[in-house]
Structure 1
């Protein structure tokens, strides 16, 4: 036992006193704890800070006292302020998109930067309420917290089209070793264990052999996950698809110039010139390439309406090269929709002919379409893409057959962040293709966060990922999440390399996604209520 006057004892006392805070001090501490937790996300990757964030959250929920209604309302408040701090600190970069055309959208920046965290914070509030319903005085209350926050994060990823950005499990997704566990439990399992394991050190504030044992078990589990990840990487060497030679072109075109129709010929000429450059991997340039990939919405025009574009492409591409590019296309609107514009991925042969198309299904609210589109447009509000009427959603998520490279799962922009929803129906694809335009967010943390989430999908599905971004981060990633070749954010570059093979065995996370999550949640709930169950049994 430490003497009461020792520095460690005083620190312990001050931390335990957080349980008795009230009013704005309580809200402020919750806000700061959440904001500090944002440092666990890319590009910082300081995942140990969640020990402090979750530990403070546990102490604040401990302090939710009174009748049931008061306890739950207090827990909701703690969860909301925690979430508001976390999302404000980790998603502030969204405001950068409103500065691309500051004269049109700049006035919306403060509303967007504050409104999104305000709404998203409702989910940690729900999580804290669920946790408080299962709360107990001992170490098993950490299972209540893991249950509540995992459920609320899953809801955040699905309600109102979903936005699972920066869910807590991505704290482990920046370590090559720890991220391998996504093959077993997926991002929702990583989220569960991030909350459970990283909140465990708070138990050391109350000296007890059982608490010490619990923290030791958490540390051993974390070390075991890292060790297993290292073994998995060492035991699975890179294998590549013979005859496929990839080139990903990252133009680094500024967002305010990307859609300039009057510069359309210059933009396409720059794309073609960059694509044709020789490199150490391909000394002859395009003649060494079989598959050329360009990013989302590469053209500032409708391809079919500009016949010169097909002529320029045909004059540049050797006969052996297929081009896969993001490009807006126009067609009849699907039933129940009105816009003729689709955010598409298009396969173009060396003669400039469009072979195949696939359309983005999961559109970005306020970016690609407006809820209550007609009304908001009538009062002068537009989505960021400035497409009158917004985009239409693709009628079905389907695979994309790419000549020489097999069947790909086509994912436009943030479609790649939805765990368990990146594989289309029908035959299983052999690789993931993600075309994006992260130039909206400059060199902020946003593109780094997007890249880490895309990388984790490769591990969950056991499939390689090829990613083309207008500006960073473009990459070829193998099914273990290893970066075979990649670019840096904010540079004009080429990413050359082979197409990795998929794993022979589909990972557990891909085969039993919801079943694994349900099992974790059910087990944690039973463990969380175990103390109260024993009390009821004794009382009876």
Structure 2
């Protein structure tokens, strides 16, 4: 029973170390999990230690998914299942890592390398298997924009996870057998690594020179609650609210008129097909000034006789320009590539439909995935990479070297999750894409948090709208930094480090096994 409680505490502690909680002592959950795994009698026991810790970690980190089911009262009964089944499934990755570690754990402080490598390898898998769910990797424990987060510019958030888990796990040998000198060296190296990473980040931030382009971006936050968005009487007031915020003059007297106006994902409770074919297209054109670009997130349908319903549906972001009496001209369209399971598509759709699950989740049809993200041309602004909501969790979607854009547009809809920790955690995770690529991010959501984020992952002074606030941000677009090491090499250094950690930790035991085998032959 004590081991079960300790495993749950290890996972919950590591989760509470993440923003917005920031209880960094919770990082000790990783060395605790390492100790629980290696002291399990069997690999199965180690698996359950890892699974329990993972369940607690993802329950604390992802409980807010249940909030989405209260938007529709008919789905409220599913909230407890969503809050428990998601962490139960994600906990399997932690269980697998701990079981494999218990199977191969070497003797001595060198085992820290194996634990960190295996744990982070399974975290990488969590972000990729079945399209992945890379929510709250260990590296994102550090608040984006702070000194510790800056190492993501070199190795990405997965590389920072390896450094973080390895450094704190180096404290685990303090409790256990072995020479006192070796155990102290292990702990000292772990503390030294954290200090080095912090020093690197402090120097990088001290040398940061934030400068701005001539482009001004307006981020529109209309404070539209998801539970009221689709009521029959809401459409007109929502359209009017967005139009008024778009057309309002600059906040500061004599301020520059924005070059680009960004609305969030799914801004209006209607499809682009309906909006562009209605009188609202003229109203949109009237709100957009000459030479100004409106970037608006809307669903759209496209005829396709090969599709089950004769059409395909996309979650899209449009770049629009006004042509006066002629209405709006579509300059560019980005279709969301990485869709949300059970929210935008039903995994194993034919099977799930036959089992009746499609009716349970109230999904009459799936969205289709667009092509892999690539930058789009934005009239009146530099080329941009669009990341719609969920896509901002994924490293590597934005070209970091060849074909690199000048900024990232993150149109999101966090209104599903109300006043929970989810929207603030999403902001922190999205900000890591700025650090990794050295690109600023313009982030627009219906209810917050909307913000202009600089290339170091920091929110530009005053350029933030909290949840529940209606308003606009008129922000000059920051210049990007130079190409970052992560932008150039991606996850390759991280993957090589994983392999190196496994080899270095297992090599001594492999050599001893060979020696014993040779002795028995003689």
Q: Normalised by the size of structure 1, how large is the TM-score?
A: 0.88
The one of 467, 473, 479 equivalent to 1:489 is: 467
Deviation at 1:536, TM superposition (A): 3.0
Question: Is the CA contact (8 Å cut-off) linking 2:146 and 2:201 kept in structure 1?
Answer: yes
Unaligned runs of 5+ in 1: 1-23, 66-70
The equivalent residue for 2:23 is 46
Q: Deviations over 1:424-452 (max 9, x none)?
A: 99832221111000000011111111111
Deviation at 1:46, TM superposition (A): 2.0
* Cα gap change, 1:334 to 1:537, in 2 (>3 Å): farther
The one of 211, 230, 247 equivalent to 1:276 is: 247
Q: 2: CA distance between counterparts of 1:284 and 1:465?
A: 25
Deviation at 1:246, TM superposition (A): 0.9
Q: Secondary structure at the match of 1:428?
A: coil
Question: Is the CA contact (8 Å cut-off) linking 1:27 and 1:78 kept in structure 2?
Answer: yes
The one of 220, 223, 227 equivalent to 1:256 is: 227
More divergent stretch after superposition (41-50 vs 459-468): 41-50
The equivalent residue for 1:138 is 108
Question: Is the CA contact (8 Å cut-off) linking 2:147 and 2:202 kept in structure 1?
Answer: yes
Q: 2: CA distance between counterparts of 1:186 and 1:443?
A: 29
1:525 aligns with 2:499: no
* Cα gap change, 1:227 to 1:456, in 2 (>3 Å): same
The equivalent residue for 1:430 is 406
1:501 aligns with 2:473: no
Q: 2: CA distance between counterparts of 1:373 and 1:495?
A: 40
The equivalent residue for 2:208 is 236
Q: 1: CA distance between counterparts of 2:271 and 2:374?
A: 22
1:214 aligns with 2:190: no
The equivalent residue for 1:13 is none
Deviation at 1:396, TM superposition (A): 4.5
Question: Is the CA contact (8 Å cut-off) linking 2:156 and 2:491 kept in structure 1?
Answer: no
1:176 aligns with 2:146: yes
1:33 aligns with 2:7: no
Question: Is the CA contact (8 Å cut-off) linking 1:487 and 1:493 kept in structure 2?
Answer: yes
* Cα gap change, 1:372 to 1:185, in 2 (>3 Å): closer
Q: Secondary structure at the match of 1:399?
A: coil
Q: 1: CA distance between counterparts of 2:438 and 2:403?
A: 15
The equivalent residue for 2:300 is 329
The equivalent residue for 2:343 is 367
**What value does the CA root-mean-square deviation take over the aligned residues?**
2.3
The equivalent residue for 2:266 is 297
1:456 aligns with 2:435: no
1:354 aligns with 2:324: no
Q: 1: CA distance between counterparts of 2:401 and 2:157?
A: 21
Question: Is the CA contact (8 Å cut-off) linking 2:144 and 2:457 kept in structure 1?
Answer: no
Q: 1: CA distance between counterparts of 2:279 and 2:401?
A: 36
The equivalent residue for 1:128 is 98
Q: 2: CA distance between counterparts of 1:425 and 1:387?
A: 39
Deviation at 1:112, TM superposition (A): 0.9
